[in-house]
Amino acid sequence: MLRALRNQTQSIFFKCFLVLLICGFALWGVGDLTGGSKGKNVLSVKNHDISVEEVLDEINRARYLLPDRPSLEEAIKNGLHKSILNKFEQEILINEEARYLDLNVPLTEQMKLIKKENAFKDPLGEFSQSKFIQSLNNAGLSEPKYLEIVKTNSNFKQLSMPFIFNNYYNESVIKRIIEWQNEIKDIEYEKFKFVNKNDLKRPSNNVLETFYNKNKKLYEIPLTRDIKYININPSLFEEQVVINQKQIDEKYEIEKSNYKIEETREILQITTQDEKKAKNFLDLVKADQNFNKIAKNLFNLTESDTNIGIIKKSDLPLESAEIIFNAKLNEILGPIKTKFGFSIYKIINIIPEKLTNYEEAVNDIKKKLIKDLSIEILFEKLDQVEDLIAEGNNIDEIAKSNIFNKNISITNVKKISKQGLIYSNEKETSYFKKSPEFIKNIWNTEMNELSEIFNSNDDNYFLIEVINEYNKNTPTFNQVKSKVYNEWLNKELITKSMERVKNLISSKNNKLLSKTSIKRSDKNIEDVQDLTLINKIFEINNNEINILVSKDNLFAVKITNTKIGDYNFDKKTYEQLNISFSKSFFNDFSNFYLQHLASKHNLKRNYQELNKFFIQKENVN
């Protein structure tokens, strides 16, 4: 039951519900330690205060909601209490400022917010008065208490409104960034092969051992562990799901509108700030009809630059959306003035509105039902797995149990560090592709013990068993001899190849064979696909010949000119940058605003009382 509730904690209601439900258990053994701090405040302003008990309640609630459920000591060590105190500071300052400004949250507005809460809706998505009352009663919440929570959120929205809707940032700043993205470098270059590995004589053991001793730190292996783990997810239980026609029909009625596909169009577009250029382009296109050829000649735009893909009406600027979606196939439109400049369009494909037929919709609904119901089975099975853990079963026994009705695979990982790196004496160090939460659970589990079941992402649950632990060590030369040779060989290969290339270029009076222009967005030079090579070229800030290492080649490169190419100042790019800047502005300004409120309302902090409790807790343990 509690696991199912944890999946609903995005809801305001369920967050409140879990505070009441969980803290009753979490503080059971802690109450006797808070006696000395009872009634004392940690934070206070003129009309609001936060007690030690409130902070402890919130810390316990927060640590319970974490997948690994850390102890109080672990939570404090990881700084969880600092986040909680920061949250409380924000809340009392917001409510104090709202009182100072005499802000009012009308009951009608509160009711709107309540009606939007998913926890109070019936299966058809409508607000249910009976469900609202029943849910509050089940949670032990009174209506006034719940309305206080709603009011705090509304106060925040009102206070932050002047700066939260900072939709459009300085256009010149955005333009500079877009120009940086569209920078073009004219280069001279020549591609060279590495010297043949077979031409490099294998060194003696003495040479390799000297190389090993000089680079000994490279071979150090930190504290590592060997583990086994199983992944428990809904797909394991899909075969156990049984659905009937009534469930399908009910789901179809609710989601029917989702199976309508609106009309989309594929269009070509160029945008320029110069109206004369736009009109000239239009005249040439109407005479020649080759949109891409003229875009290349006049604006140096490739087909990938002009084709903005298959788009919906809502993807376009308001000034042009209606015109484009009323146009015929192959019709050329423009110039149309938008906030991005003068735009010309050509319709090259029309995909009409489509309604998914009933059979296709039903098949999709069946898949959704199977997924939803398999999640329900998953939670039931996780409870059974926890029972097996409590009975002392190991991971092999759990994997073979009849809970899953099939063989469930066990994955073994050797020598994994606290940073999530996998070490080996023979192979290169690799990264373990799991979440930080997964890595953390490896190291929070005792040797030869099972971890708690934890959720890593979506509905994927994991169980880990720690098999071995190895102290930090440095393998001997003989243990890593093959790795040492490979690393020596790679270094020697680059050194000898560089020497050869420098001699070749010098013999040709520093002349390079080829010329081209490249953009930051290019993925290759000639037939070489290497994004890092493109990035390295754009980092060059001199006019000399630079020799760059690519995967299979050496590139000698010289920058001859840097310029800004013509670009399509499209709505999507502009809005994405605006959103990014707006978020950054909001975070910076809100931090400054809260500091101002703390000074204005004389916020008093009394963290000594909280520290006393933590010290008492450590002494008791």
CB 223 within 8 A of CB 469: yes
Tell me whether residue 375 is exposed, middle or buried, using C-beta atoms within 10 angstroms of its C-beta: 0 to 12, 13 to 18, 19 or more: middle
Length of the chain: 621
Model pLDDT, residue 359: 81
Where are the strands (E) in 113-263, listed by range? 183-193, 224-232, 260-261
Do 63 and 10 lie in one domain? The reply is yes
Q: In the structure encoding, which two tokens stand for residue 321, read together?
A: 């959306």
- Identify the CA nearest to 398 among candidates 374, 382, 412: 382
Task: Point out the domain boundary residue: 407, 442, 470.
Answer: 470
Question: Checking phi first, is residue 204 left (phi over 0); if not, alpha (psi -120 to 50) or beta?
Answer: beta
Domain assignment of residue 204, yes or no: yes
Distance CA 203, CA 478 (A): 15
Are 49 and 43 in contact, with CB atoms under 8 Å apart?
yes
Is residue 386 a part of any domain in this protein?
yes
Contact call for residues 613 and 52 (beta carbons, < 8 A): yes
- Residue 576 included in any domain: no
- The answer to whether residue 580 is domain-embedded is no
Residue 171 lies in a domain: no
Sign of CA dihedral 510, 513, 518, 524: negative
User: End of a domain among 319, 352, 385?
Assistant: 352
Query: What pLDDT is stored for residue 7 in this prediction?
Result: 38
Dist CA 428 CA 485 (whole Å) = 12
Nearest-angstrom CA–CA distance, 141 and 90: 23
Q: Is residue 577 part of a domain?
A: no
**17 shares its domain with 100:** yes
Do 26 and 141 lie in a common domain? Answer: yes
Domain's final residue, options 470, 486, 512: 470
CATH number at residue 240: 3.10.50
Tell whether 129 and 10 lie within a shared domain.
Answer: yes
By three-state DSSP, how is residue 602 classified?
A: coil
First CA to last CA across the chain, in angstroms? 31
402 neighbors 387 (Cβ within 8 angstroms): no
Give me Rg for the CA atoms of the chain. 32
How does strand 260-261 pair with strand 354-355? antiparallel
Number of domains in the chain: 4
Domain range for 408 is 221-245+360-470
C-beta atoms surrounding 422 within 10 Å: 17
> In this structure, are 35 and 153 located in the same domain?
yes
User: Would you state the pLDDT for residue 314?
Assistant: 81
Structure confidence at residue 597 (pLDDT): 87
- State the pLDDT at residue 399: 92
Asked if 365 and 324 sit in the same domain, the reply is: no
Residues 454 and 505 grouped into a single domain: no
pTM above 0.75, yes or no: no
> Do both 32 and 142 map to the same domain?
yes
User: What is the DSSP secondary structure assignment for residue 120, as one 8-state letter?
Assistant: G
pLDDT at 116: 78
Q: Reduce the DSSP state of residue 546 to 3 states and report it.
A: strand
SS3 of 3-38: HHHHCCCCCHHHHHHHHHHHHHHHCCCCHHHCHHHC
Q: Which two tokens stand for residue 545?
A: 């010949």
Q: Domain containing 282 — which CATH number?
A: 3.10.50.40
- Measure the CA–CA gap between 104 and 553, rounded to whole angstroms: 68
DSSP-assigned letter for residue 256: G
Same domain (yes/no): 121, 238: no
Two tokens, residue 271: 């945008």
Spell 325-346 as b/e; 16+ CB within 10 A means b: bebeeeeebbbbebebbbbbbb
> How far apart are alpha carbons 144 and 132 in whole angstroms?
13
Q: Is residue 255 part of a domain?
A: no
For 342, residues 6+ apart whose C-beta sits below 8 A from its C-beta are 271, 272, 273, 274, 275, 278, 334, 335, 336
Residue 22 sits in the same domain as residue 149: yes
Residues 343 and 372 in one domain: no
Residue matched to tokens 């020497």: 499
10-residue mean pLDDT profile of the chain (621 residues): values are 35 40 33 44 86 81 70 77 85 87 78 78 74 68 72 79 60 76 90 91 94 93 96 90 88 79 88 88 85 88 86 82 89 84 90 80 87 89 91 93 88 94 91 89 92 83 95 95 93 94 93 90 79 88 91 90 80 71 71 84 81 61 53
The answer to whether residue 571 is domain-embedded is no
In this prediction, residue 21 carries a pLDDT of 35
Tell me if 497 sits within 8 A of 504, measured CB to CB. Answer: no
458 and 523 part of one domain: no
C-alpha span between 489 and 332 (Å, rounded): 59
Residues 511, 514, 519, 525, CA torsion sign: negative
Three-state secondary structure call for residue 553: strand
